[in-house]
Structure 1
Amino acid sequence: MNWFEALVLGIVQGITEFLPISSSAHLIITQELFGISMPGLAFEVFLHFASLLAVVYFFRADLAVIIKEFLQYVGTRNVKYKTSFWFGIYIIAATFITGVLGILLEKQLADTLRSMTTISIALFFTGLFLILIERVMKYGNRREKDMTFWDAFWVGIGQTVAVIPGVSRAGSTLVAALWVGLDKSTAVRFSFLLSIPVILGSTVLMFPDMRLAEFDTGWFELTISFIASFIFALIGIRWLIAFLNRSKLIYFAYYCFFVSGVVFIFLR
């Protein structure tokens, strides 16, 4: 892998990780189009870790408040810290559900369903659910203080479905959060913050399978892909939040349909 291929993969990973269009599908499609082969798990770990740092950096203020008020509620039981406490609990609960079910399903599904046909179908259904949430369901008005364990459960289930290549983690969590009646800003915030423990957990789980020889890919290429993934993940987060404040998820549905058709017709 040369520096340009590393740059391309870093950009694709960063910009698609937090958009409801499936980063895993776009990485596979990019490798197919450019004839690139991932040099090993070390490279994938670097890409995911860069995206993780980006979302932590972007939401650093939110994270600081949630962690601080979570601990203050544990220590004082002061009601003014209750919302942050339970919001943190719901993130933990959804992460637990995703972790348990994801571990059970990923080895059975991730490799066997990694075909272009599966990706095409998964992208189609991602687009379909984005349209359903926009055209059939009405946005709810419940915020952090109104959340329940059932919200965390269904968002965790939605996130678990994203082990299938082509199903967007961001898309599935957004759809699930909106489906249970959370308002758009709460759904977006919960989806982004939920990505932190999930990406961290999946990255840590890759460590035992990594080999030191994989770093022979070249530190220069790894560094380029890492920086590109971090920068474009930040751009993607900022752009998505701004976009959803003034527009709708349905445009991502049209994009998913388009990519699904291209994959089904030309890349199978």
Structure 2
Amino acid sequence: MEFYESFSLLLKYIFFGLVQGFTEPIPISSSGHLVIVQNLFGLKLENLSFEILVNFGSLIAVLIIYKNDILRLIQNGLRFIVKKERDAKEDFDFILYLIIATIPAGVIGLLFEEQIGLIFSKPQQIGITLIITGIGLWIIRNIRGRKNDGALTLKDAIIIGLAQSVALIPGISRSGATIVAAMLLGMKQETALRFSFLLFIPISFGTLLLSIDDLFTPELKTMWLPYLLAFIAAAVATYFSLKWFMNIMARGNLKYFAFYCFIAGFIAFILL
């Protein structure tokens, strides 16, 4: 019986790690799906440390996929600051816009994230916000923007940052909100996708640093294996999910995510 319970616990955490990891990069809301899955299967995750850890796993995957962009931005950003080389200004501005876009969600999350999570915690509420996410994706399904990295403006950064802050509400996809905002502002799909996921990095790092005390709890000593497996599952699932989503974006098939959000939202609202 003890072996069965231990094995079931491992499977539970691997499952949640896969759900969070797979849904993190695609525009269907990872936080909303964790709520739905817990209610659907009668499973509960009470501890904040789990969410921090699987989010870190997703962050590792994003860093790996965008490592070349990150290195280029750092190198050219330093070149512009130190040597004032004009050909590096575009990447310096891109970094500046990422910083600006991080501020709204950072401030609102720091002040109100816990309250937002408590208010929007019921499956019916998640259903409504998933449908809202689907509407946003449906609106941009056929949009083909022209703005590349060098055409971004301060206004673009502020609007995308505000969109990211709206995604603090469970069921509103972070990637969905930022990509919808970016494409409505006229960005190319590739630029919108890159800006969205490079924007995920400082937010995720900030959450990790601010919540580090919640991660190292006495429970970690007994739960290290389930947590480790969930971390690995989230990292692997995010990596392949984001690669898949990049191909979907390139083909302009966002309407399928809109359909999914409508169906999942309806199920959460009516059946749970």
Relative to the length of structure 1, the TM-score reads 0.95
CA distance in 2, matches of 1:39, 1:105: 19
Task: Determine if contact 2:125/2:269 at 8 Å carries over to the other structure.
Answer: no
Which residue does the alignment assign to 1:220? Answer: 225
Which residue does the alignment assign to 2:68? Answer: 61
User: Are 2:144 and 1:144 equivalent residues in the alignment?
Assistant: no
User: What count of residue pairs does the alignment treat as equivalent?
Assistant: 265
User: Are 2:214 and 1:237 equivalent residues in the alignment?
Assistant: no
Q: CA RMSD in A?
A: 1.4
Shift of residue 23, structure 1, vs aligned partner:
0.2
Shift of residue 132, structure 1, vs aligned partner:
1.2
Correspondent of 1:259 among 250, 258, 264: 264
Alpha-carbon displacement from aligned partner over 1:62-100 (angstroms, at most 9, x marks no partner): 100000100110011111101110001011110112211
CA distance in 1, matches of 2:188, 2:127: 30
Task: Determine if contact 2:49/2:214 at 8 Å carries over to the other structure.
Answer: no
Which residue does the alignment assign to 2:3? Answer: none
CA distance in 1, matches of 2:102, 2:27: 19
Gaps spanning 5+ residues in structure 2: where?
1-7
Alignment of 1:9-28 (within 5 A): 9-28=16-35
- Give 1:65's aligned amino acid: R
Task: Determine if contact 2:134/2:261 at 8 Å carries over to the other structure.
Answer: yes
Correspondent of 1:30 among 18, 32, 37: 37
Shift of residue 116, structure 1, vs aligned partner:
1.1
Which residue does the alignment assign to 2:189? Answer: 184
CA distance in 2, matches of 1:165, 1:230: 21
Alignment of 1:115-130 (within 5 A): 115-130=122-137
- Give 1:78's aligned amino acid: E
User: Are 2:171 and 1:166 equivalent residues in the alignment?
Assistant: yes
Shift of residue 211, structure 1, vs aligned partner:
5.5
Change (3 A) 1:107 1:219: closer
Alpha-carbon displacement from aligned partner over 1:28-54 (angstroms, at most 9, x marks no partner): 111122222214122111101101111
Task: Determine if contact 2:62/2:197 at 8 Å carries over to the other structure.
Answer: yes
Correspondent of 1:70 among 63, 70, 77: 77
Which residue does the alignment assign to 1:249? Answer: 254
Shift of residue 58, structure 1, vs aligned partner:
1.0
Which residue does the alignment assign to 1:204? Answer: 209
CA distance in 1, matches of 2:62, 2:101: 18
Task: Determine if contact 2:102/2:202 at 8 Å carries over to the other structure.
Answer: yes
CA distance in 2, matches of 1:156, 1:79: 27
Shift of residue 244, structure 1, vs aligned partner:
1.2
Shift of residue 217, structure 1, vs aligned partner:
4.8
Task: Determine if contact 2:141/2:252 at 8 Å carries over to the other structure.
Answer: no
Which residue does the alignment assign to 1:99? Answer: 106
User: Are 2:87 and 1:80 equivalent residues in the alignment?
Assistant: yes
- Give 1:160's aligned amino acid: S
- Give 1:226's aligned amino acid: F
Which residue does the alignment assign to 2:161? Answer: 156
- Give 1:29's aligned amino acid: I
Shift of residue 151, structure 1, vs aligned partner:
0.6
Relative to the length of structure 2, the TM-score reads 0.93
User: Are 2:49 and 1:42 equivalent residues in the alignment?
Assistant: yes
- Give 2:262's aligned amino acid: F
Shift of residue 210, structure 1, vs aligned partner:
4.4
